[in-house]
Amino acid sequence: MSIFGFGKKKDAAPAPAPEPAAPAAEEPASWFGRLKSGLAKSSSKLTQGLGDLFTKRKLDDEALEELEDLLITADLGVAMAARVTKHLAKTRFGQDVTSDEIKATLAEEITRILTPVAKPLEIDSTRKPHVVLVVGVNGSGKTTTIGKMAKTYKDAGLNVTLAAGDTFRAAAVEQLKVWGERTHCPVIARETGADAAGLAYDAVEQSRARGDDLLFIDTAGRLQNKADLMAELAKLVRSIKKVDETAPHDVLLVLDATVGQNAHSQVEIFKDMVAVSGLVLTKLDGTARGGVLVALAEKFGLPVHAIGIGEKAEDLRPFEADAFAKSLVGME
């Protein structure tokens, strides 16, 4: 089964056996270590701030106020900061506390918030194909994310097709073609400037005719022309529905982890444009402001399917709340 998870008919043939996994003793440590490294910008800010605030200091009103400010500046969000300080005020007020104790409390609270949204992308094998529309601003990593996910599902034995729906950027089309070659997945593309809605229509028809399990459709993300982009995406969705009125079956929003609080406006904008069903967070590789994911989870409650920490296909992994929380607060 794919690491991202997928559904199948009860009477369907068993999925092909997965490729042998790396040794259990090495893989988790390696991934956790890289995740910690990727979240270093966020965790170091918290760790240093907590160290400055709490070196056997009594938890008084001033300390709680400073802690709340620190959590907000770390992109964790106002609601999260208020809830953590309220919890500590109720349970530890007037007592000596250390930065490690605050970290443990933070990690526990972050895990509690993130656990409900840590959900794999479920591919329904009764749909031929299961259509996944991938949206996000240009530069967020949409095309690379599609390629990585395509490899995962292809390796799991599914028939996958890719559609280069960002027809205005020749580089995006070429990049998707490269991923198609790497993953041995067909790529449906048109000339630069072609009608994206028409391409999407053809892609669903061709993918259906082949009996594909999964179709990923890339899209444009030019937010400087918000009205035009909204109209283009709406037209694209209407075209897809002409072939399959239930599609797209998932709409993934890819977010660049380095943008911090700007991620909030991106989620708001794309939720208005299309029915976003889940998130993928990319570029957690050293300059990330990963705390924003906590605030996004609390505000929007959208499933977080995967996170990426590098350029290789195996660098996109399912989102795990506990590992993310511990990495974010700098816990070992």
Q: Is 143 a known ligand-binding residue?
A: yes
Q: Any idea which residue has 């009477």 for tokens? A: 11
Q: Is 137 a known ligand-binding residue?
A: yes
Q: How far is CA 64 from CA 54, 59, 81, in A?
A: 10, 7, 10
Measured CA angle at 250 (ends 249, 253), to 5 deg? 160
* Residues contacting residue 161 through CB under 8 Å, at least 6 positions apart: 129, 185, 186, 187, 188, 203, 206, 207, 210, 212, 214, 215, 216
Q: Is 145 a known ligand-binding residue?
A: no
Q: Is 276 a known ligand-binding residue?
A: no
Cα–Cα dist 172/143, whole Å = 7
* Residues contacting residue 173 through CB under 8 Å, at least 6 positions apart: 164, 166, 167, 189, 192
Q: Is 255 a known ligand-binding residue?
A: no
Q: Is 192 a known ligand-binding residue?
A: no
- Burial-class residue 327 by CB neighbours within 10 Å (0-12, 13-18, 19+): buried
Q: Is 161 a known ligand-binding residue?
A: no
Q: Is 221 a known ligand-binding residue?
A: yes
Q: Is 75 a known ligand-binding residue?
A: no
Q: Is 140 a known ligand-binding residue?
A: yes
Amino acid in the structure at residue 331: M
Nearest partner of 221 among 117, 306, 146, judged by Cα: 146
Distance linking the first and last C-alpha atoms of the chain: 30
Q: Is 142 a known ligand-binding residue?
A: yes
Residue 139: count other Cβ atoms within 10 Å of its Cβ. 12
Q: Is 218 a known ligand-binding residue?
A: yes
Q: Is 252 a known ligand-binding residue?
A: no
Q: Is 125 a known ligand-binding residue?
A: no
Q: Is 282 a known ligand-binding residue?
A: yes
Cα–Cα dist 189/167, whole Å = 8
Nearest partner of 136 among 214, 192, 219, 197, judged by Cα: 219
Binding site as annotated, residues: 136-143, 218-222, 282-285
Binding site as annotated, residues for GTP: 136-143, 218-222, 282-285
